[in-house]
A and B are shown apart, each in its own frame.
Chain A
Amino acid sequence: ELKVEQNPLFLSMQEGKNYTIYCNYSTTSDRLYWYRQDPGKSLESLFVLLSNGAVKQEGRLMASLDTKARLSTLHITAAVHDLSATYFCAVKNSNSGYALNFGKGTSLLVTP
C-alpha cells in the first residue's frame, strides 16, 4: 500500500521566518505533487516534481524531490500571512489508475 506521510501536520510560524514541510512516501515514484487548499476551497496546484533532484520555486515557496530517499520538501522563505493555508503533498499511485495518494496535509498559520 502506498503511504504518504507529511510532517508537521500543524505549523504556526511568525511572518518573516523560514520553515520546511516534509513529505515521505513508501514506494518508488518519480511524480510528486504539492497542492494548496484554502478553507472551503478545492486544491490549487503548486508544483509538479517529475524527477530525482528536481527543484522548483515560485515566490516564497520552493519544492524539491529526492526519489532515492523518497522525500520531498516544501520550503517556505520569509513567510507572509497570505501563505496561511493547508498544504498537501501527493504521489501518483499506479495501482489506482494513476490517482493520487495524499498526505494528511500541513495546516500552516502565519502570524504577525
Chain B
Amino acid sequence: GAVVSQHPSRVICKSGTSVKIECRSLDFQATTMFWYRQFPKQSLMLMATSNEGSKATYEQGVEKDKFLINHASLTLSTLTVTSAHPEDSSFYICSASGQDRETQYFGPGTRLLVL
C-alpha cells in the first residue's frame, strides 16, 4: 500500500520557538493532505485540509497564523507550529489521499513536546 512518512517523529522545543513538521507521500501523488491533532487519550481532530498549490482550509478554532501549512508539491506538506506553547504539545498526524479521495493513508505521527 501507499506510504506516508513524517519527520521528525519526536520533537522537544522551548516555549516561543517554531517547529516544522514534514509529511511526505513516498510512492504516490497526494492531491490532498490532512493534518490532525490528537491529545492524550482523545480522538483525532482535524486541523486543516491542504490541496497542492492552494491555501489550506482550517477548521473552526484552529489559528491559521499559528499553524502554518504549506503544500508546495504533490508529495510534501509541512505544518509549522509558530511560537509554540506547552498547550500545543500533542501528537500531530498527517494523512494523504490521491485523486480518488477514497483512501487516506496516515503518517506515523509526530509527537511534539513544548517545554
Task: Report the bound CA distance from A98 to B95 in whole Å.
Answer: 11
A interface SS class: strand
Give the contact stretch, choosing among B11-19, B73-81, B82-90, B105-113.
B105-113
B interface SS class: strand
Q: Which residues of A contact B42 (CB under 8 A)?
A: 104-105
Give the contact stretch, choosing among A40-48, A51-59, A63-71, A77-85.
A40-48
Contact B93 A31 (CB under 8 A): no
Task: Report the bound CA distance from A17 to B113 in whole Å.
Answer: 39
Contact A96 B59 (CB under 8 A): yes
Contact B57 A97 (CB under 8 A): yes
Contact B108 A88 (CB under 8 A): no
User: Could you say which of A40, A96, A98, A107 contacts B97, with CB atoms under 8 Å apart?
Assistant: A98
Contact A31 B46 (CB under 8 A): no
CB contacts between A and B, total, < 8 Å: 53
- Of chain B, the residue at the smallest CB distance from A88 is B43
B46 to chain A, nearest CB (A): 5
B1 to chain A, nearest CB (A): 8
Contact B32 A88 (CB under 8 A): no
From residue 24 to 56 of chain B, which have CB atoms closer than 8 A to chain A? 32, 34, 41-46, 49, 51
Task: Report the bound CA distance from A101 to B44 in whole Å.
Answer: 8
A108 to chain B, nearest CB (A): 14
A5 to chain B, nearest CB (A): 11
Contacts known (A42-B108, A43-B93, A43-B106); A96 close to B46, Cβ less than 8 A: yes
- Listed from nearest, the 10 A-B pairs whose CB atoms lie closest are A97-B49, A42-B109, A43-B106, A98-B101, A102-B43, A42-B108, A99-B46, A102-B44, A104-B43, A99-B34
Q: Chain A: residues with CB nearer than 8 A to chain B?
A: 31, 33, 35, 40-43, 45, 48, 50, 88, 92-93, 96-105, 107
Q: Chain B: residues with CB nearer than 8 A to chain A?
A: 32, 34, 41-46, 49, 51, 57, 59, 93, 95, 97, 101-104, 106-109, 111
